[in-house]
Amino acid sequence: MYARRRHTYFALMGGCIGLFVLAWGVVRLWSVPAAVAMCLVAMVIPPVAAVVANRRGPDDRWWDDPSGDPQSDEWWDELDGKKGPR
């Protein structure tokens, strides 16, 4: 479902921002290598969040799946170039 993917995306990105802020606002005072390691972990999170957010869910309409509505399917086929206009 779109809402679940969106919530997961924002949670991952919030964690990413939190890691950066915590690393350079607090952790660097005790250990610079630990702060750098936290930033390296945070650097990996955005691509993972993008993959999670763009993953196809079981209820999502895929580009070539029929929806079951004949008028909608005809319209999508016309847009995709599978059929000409009526």
What's the pLDDT at 42? 95
Q: State how far the Cα of 69 lies from the Cα of 47, in Å rounded to an integer.
A: 35
User: In this structure, how many other beta carbons lie within 10 angstroms of the beta carbon of residue 23?
Assistant: 21
d(CA 86, CA 82): 12
pLDDT at 34: 96
User: Consecutive sets of 10 residues in the chain, 86 residues long: mean pLDDT of each?
Assistant: 82 95 94 96 94 77 70 78 66
